Amino acid sequence: MQPSTDDVTLVRRYYERFNAGDWDEMCALLAEDVQHDLNQGPREIGRVKFRVFLDRMARSYQEQLHDVVVMGNGAGRVAAEYVVVGAYLSDDPGLPPASGQRYRIPGGAFFSVEGGKITRVTNYYNLEDWLAQVRSWPTP
């Protein structure tokens, strides 16, 4: 199997674990010192911090990724594009109050892979689009 296939398969597995809500198996695919670039936010270093991020996200959001497309260059660089379909369940600090608002936004991510582990995850989605959808959702 070629390296690009291995890298692409690894990232596909990462998204399968995400959609299953299997944070332990998802984190097992990451290098111990993984670099995580949050959308429009800081870089966090380490699998432990990544897991804390996932736990926080799980408290505030219920999300599934649809139409996931994963592409690799054969040299440890992988990109993914998808559609996030979710619900905002619990207030996330710095964001509007949550009341079960639903949203659907395109997103993407860039990965570095070395030694069969993901060493970098850089996420992107349009925060302004998400905010507009959340703010326009009918309140209960």
> Mean pLDDT in the chain?
92
Q: How far is CA 97 from CA 60, 90, 93, 94, 137, in A?
A: 10, 8, 9, 9, 11
pTM: 0.90
Q: Mean pLDDT across the stretch 110-137?
A: 94
Q: How confident is the model at residue 31 (pLDDT cuts 50, 70, 90)?
A: very high
Domain of residue 82, CATH code: 3.10.450.50
Give pLDDT, residue 5: 54
Q: Which residues contact 79 (CB under 8 A, 6 or more apart)?
A: 70, 71, 72, 108, 109, 110, 111
For 86-102, write each residue's pLDDT tens digit.
999 999 988 999 999 99
Quote the number of domains for the chain: 1
Q: Checking phi first, is residue 46 left (phi over 0); if not, alpha (psi -120 to 50) or beta? A: left
The range of the structural domain enclosing residue 66 comes to 3-136
How far is C-alpha 69 from the geometric centre of its chain's CA atoms?
14
